[in-house]
Amino acid sequence: MSLLDTNLSGFGTDPVWVIIVKAVLIFLVLVLLTLFNIWFERRVVARMQHRIGPNVNGPFGLLQSLADGVKLALKEDIIPKAADKVVFLLAPVLATVPAFVTWAVIPFGPEVNFFGHRTPLQLTDMPVAVIFVLAIASIGIYGIVLGGWSSGSTYSLLGGLRSSAQMISYEVAMGLSFVAVFLYAGSMSTSEIVAAQDKTWFGIILLPSFVIYVISMVGETNRAPFDLPEAEGELVGGFHTEYSSLKFALFFLAEYVNMATVSALATTLFLGGWHAPFWIDTVWAGANHGYWPVLWFMGKVLAFIFVFIWLRGTLPRLRYDQFMAFGWKRLIPIALVWIIAVAGIRAASLHGSFNKNYLYAAIVVLAALVLVLGFVDDRASRGRERLAAEARADAEAKPFDAFAGGYPVPPMPGTAVAAGSARVSATAEGEEQ
């Protein structure tokens, strides 16, 4: 089957009122899901850290997120004098709108009776729906970069540049992880990919692609331990340091909607979409009919959200150079080798000459690549550590000249002092005593 030869006859024929109702429902689901995810994250992290978490506003503290949103809306709206006002105001919108638009092609369930009209539980679909998601999501990067640049702050600018480099790098690995799915599904349409997983999920038969995607989606959304554009220890708060009130709330909303977006995409491409988990449909014929699939779909999305929260409460933040090197030197080469292996296996299976030995060989080659990359990086790390140790030894062996910079500087403890600096050294020792 051609990648563009898909059956999309069920889309594009809905009345206008059905399209409007679907769009409004998706918007409401995402806003309510964001409020729930904020509460869920605070409760889970509190549980991991032996704290109580929000428990006052509403039952179990469920209205705490709503209270925080109202508080943000009522805060003073400040625009720095050095900011480019138009771009400063436009950036949060550029970051938020694409996060909602990408859900237009996410399938929530099969065709159902929707207020007397038969329609799929999906706003729309297209032959290149997954590419559409990547294209729209990449627009959100502009919002972050322009927000950091237009603030007139050095820290905000550095956060925006970090975020752009990070998102672009990990979007490459994310896109490569999709190629194996396209090869097995024979389509780039989200509804067709879900239909191709009615027997076996791609997350099982394409496990390396699934692992690469899960790592990439965390880096793509700037979430811990990959939240380097917002590293408060280095950049105060990152690209949104100068933002306040509703503009900051829009960036906050975009982050949590993007978390749900990449989780929904992972569910659609690798975990069977709205199909019942654990193959419940084998014992319950109605599991994949009606509105029940919405429950399965949202359950899988929330499972990914929990993984995001789990990582945030467990792992420390990486150094920026480590994070970027991991993406370019690990994920992308492994993804390329895996694509070649999957393409060969898929071609052999379509021509009837598939042998399980091909799959075993692909796994062996991939494992060897991982080991080689790890060995090369380990040797490089040891070499850098040796050079740094030699540089420190040379610095310690060289006599310290207190007047080298034009001003007397006390030497560090244990440092050899040059003859001309003896007076400074004696003065420093006297002050210490």
Q: List, for residues 301-311, the tens digit of each pLDDT value.
A: 999 999 999 99
| CA–CA distance, 228 with 160 (Å, rounded to integer) | 10
pLDDT of residue 4: 39
Which range has the top average pLDDT, 11-25, 237-251, 296-310, 393-407?
296-310
Q: Could you tell me how far CA 284 lies from the centroid of its own chain?
A: 35
For residue 225, whether the previous peptide bond is cis, meaning omega lies within 30 degrees of 0, is yes
- Show the tokens assigned to 22: 């679907």
- Show the tokens assigned to 70: 């109202």
- Show the tokens assigned to 404: 């080298």
Q: Find residue 125's DSSP bridge partners.
A: none
Lowest mean pLDDT among 2-6, 197-201, 380-384: 2-6
pLDDT of residue 169: 83
Residue 124: pLDDT above 60?
A: yes
Half-sphere exposure of 302 (CA within 13 A, CB side): 17
pLDDT of residue 426: 47
- Give the rounded percent of residues in the chain with a pLDDT score beyond 90: 31
pLDDT of residue 417: 61
| CA–CA distance, 347 with 333 (Å, rounded to integer) | 21
Q: Classify 123 as helix, strand or coil.
A: coil
Give mean pLDDT, residues 267-278: 91
Lowest mean pLDDT among 98-102, 260-264, 313-317: 313-317
- Show the tokens assigned to 28: 């409401």
pLDDT of residue 391: 65
Q: Classify 95 as helix, strand or coil.
A: helix
224 or 114, higher pLDDT: 114
Give mean pLDDT, residues 371-389: 66
- Show the tokens assigned to 251: 């960036």
| CA–CA distance, 234 with 65 (Å, rounded to integer) | 28
Task: Give φ, ψ of 241 to 5 degrees.
Answer: -60, -40
Q: Which of 225, 383, 369, 365 is nearest to 309 (CA)?
A: 225
Going by pLDDT thresholds of 50, 70 and 90, the confidence category of residue 282 is confident
Lowest mean pLDDT among 9-18, 33-42, 192-201, 259-268: 9-18
Task: Give φ, ψ of 417 to 5 degrees.
Answer: -105, 135
Q: Find residue 119's DSSP bridge partners.
A: 112
In this structure, the dihedral spanned by the alpha carbons of residues 303, 308, 313 and 318, taken in order and rounded to 10 degrees, is 150
Element (H, E) at 120: strand 117-121
pLDDT of residue 432: 47
Q: How far is CA 34 from CA 140, 159, 223, 404, in A?
A: 17, 24, 15, 58
| CA–CA distance, 176 with 209 (Å, rounded to integer) | 8
- Show the tokens assigned to 114: 């929707």
| CA–CA distance, 400 with 353 (Å, rounded to integer) | 73
pLDDT of residue 7: 64
